[in-house]
Structure 1
Amino acid sequence: MDRRTYLAASLTTAAASAGCLTSVLGDSGGEGDPVLDPPADQQYDSGDIPYPAYGEQFPDVSVPDPLAGETVSTGDIDKTLVVTGFFATCPVECVRLIGQLAGVQQGTVEKGIDDDVTFLAITFDPARDDAETLREYGKQMNVDMDAGNWRFLRPESEARASAVVDEKLGITFDRIGAGESQRLPGYDFRHLSLTFLRNPDGVVERAYRTDSPDHERVLSDVEAVVDATT
């Protein structure tokens, strides 16, 4: 078992519960060319963290955008990226997460940097999160779809969601039955809350491991990356 797999397993065992897994785990500098200083709360080297972290290259993933009818590839986006994973029927954690990121999006519009930033929210529940569901979810979460810088992405299948969200991005999730979660009818997910800030060169600047990222802090980081790269 390699060190990334071992750390992922140990963190999951320690923090697993129905809903999101949260931690004060920090990011760490490493290879690449970030423009921000290393995060002050880092606890591990980036190579020891089981997801792309500070200074590492963000994976190139391609996922359909069902609202636009096209496939989005992160490697083709030469802007600052904010990327996260979620599912629309999540009753608590994703509501906080997407709500905070919607606040960041609003801030980019107010500061006039919305053309320099793209938000990608990737569902790992493609069976339920179809185009209409995602459209209505965006309205409920006050996402400004008219701004043109927010995309909801939906993998083609559950297997593809696992390959992209879990394996490539390290946003771990496990499908669990209603009897196990006691929260949702049908099925629920035990999952990690994780949001990436990637600069236009494809390098991870921040990996916010929380379901409640401070939207003012994230906006400040986003603005700093935009200022340094435009």
Structure 2
Amino acid sequence: MMKNWCNRIAITVSIILVVWMWFIGTDGFTAFTAETARKNNLIEAKPKFPEVILEDSKERTYTMESFRGKNVLITFVYTACTTVCPELERNFAEVYQSIPASYIGEEIVFLTISFDPERDDPKTLENYQQYFQSDGETWRMARIPDQLQLKSLLDAFGVIVIPDEYDGFSHNSAFYFVNKLGYLENVLDYTDIKAASEYVVGRLEREI
């Protein structure tokens, strides 16, 4: 009887330890994947958008200071991508279209940033934006010509870009919400258009 009781206690303690370790290792059961953990870490850290020079499809150059006082929703792509990027931008376009017109350009701007600046020059970006009806103003497409500056941004926002054997890239994708002070505030699932739209609209409404 005593032996059985001890065994039960040992089993119970073991289960508690396993559950506790799982709780710690998954950020309170939320980080079930590396990507979820990455997003949670970014949301907690809230990194500032680095001082980089953007060059857009209209050949204008500027920093994020140009958007000070406005929220910015961002995606990272390369225009030669034929898999994830087109879906990412189509979904981005749907989110853009779901935002009340009074907010667009005033409270928020949309920004697509290429991480392939050698191929994605302003002319290429201009052609690419036409596929998604980006106006080049309230939804801009830009590159960061300086590779070191580009790397600083990708590192800060946890964007993983790995060259592949087909002269392209393997990369993760999301919507990145940067607030009016230039800090990353949220990382949104690009496949859940409804949730992303509701978050952005709700976030903007709270500021009015």
Fold shared per TM-score above 0.5: yes
1:203-222 residue pairs with structure 2 within 5 A? 203-208=183-188, 210=189, 212-222=190-200
- TM-score (normalizing by structure 2): 0.72
Distance 1:161 1:204, change over 3 A: closer
Stretches of structure 2 that go unaligned for 5 or more consecutive residues are 1-24, 26-32
- TM-score (normalizing by structure 1): 0.66
Give the whole-Å Cα distance in 1 for the aligned partners of 2:102 and 2:185.
21
Q: Is the 8 A contact 1:199 1:225 kept in 2?
A: no
Distance 1:170 1:130, change over 3 A: same
* Other-structure match for 1:182: none
Residue number among 155, 161, 169 corresponding to 2:144 in the alignment: 155
Distance 1:139 1:79, change over 3 A: same
Q: Is the 8 A contact 1:106 1:144 kept in 2?
A: no
Question: 2:125 matched to 1:145?
Answer: no
**Which letter maps to 1:82?**
L
**Which letter maps to 1:94?**
C
* Other-structure match for 2:9: none
**Number of residues of Structure 1 aligned to a counterpart in Structure 2:** 175
* Other-structure match for 2:28: none
* Deviation at residue 174 of structure 1 after TM alignment: 1.4
Question: 2:161 matched to 1:173?
Answer: yes
Question: 2:101 matched to 1:93?
Answer: no
Distance 1:26 1:64, change over 3 A: closer
Residue number among 193, 201, 207 corresponding to 2:181 in the alignment: 201
Give the whole-Å Cα distance in 2 for the aligned partners of 1:27 and 1:176.
24
Question: 2:61 matched to 1:71?
Answer: yes
Distance 1:26 1:227, change over 3 A: farther
* Other-structure match for 1:132: 123
* Deviation at residue 168 of structure 1 after TM alignment: 2.4
Give the whole-Å Cα distance in 2 for the aligned partners of 1:224 and 1:92.
30
Q: Is the 8 A contact 1:80 1:222 kept in 2?
A: no
Moved over 6 A (4+): none
Distance 1:54 1:71, change over 3 A: farther
Q: Which has the higher helix share?
A: 2
Stretches of structure 1 that go unaligned for 5 or more consecutive residues are 1-6, 8-14, 16-21, 29-48, 179-186
Distance 1:64 1:86, change over 3 A: same
* Deviation at residue 156 of structure 1 after TM alignment: 1.1
Give the whole-Å Cα distance in 2 for the aligned partners of 1:193 and 1:96.
10
Distance 1:143 1:55, change over 3 A: farther
Structure with higher Rg: it is 2
Give the whole-Å Cα distance in 2 for the aligned partners of 1:162 and 1:111.
34
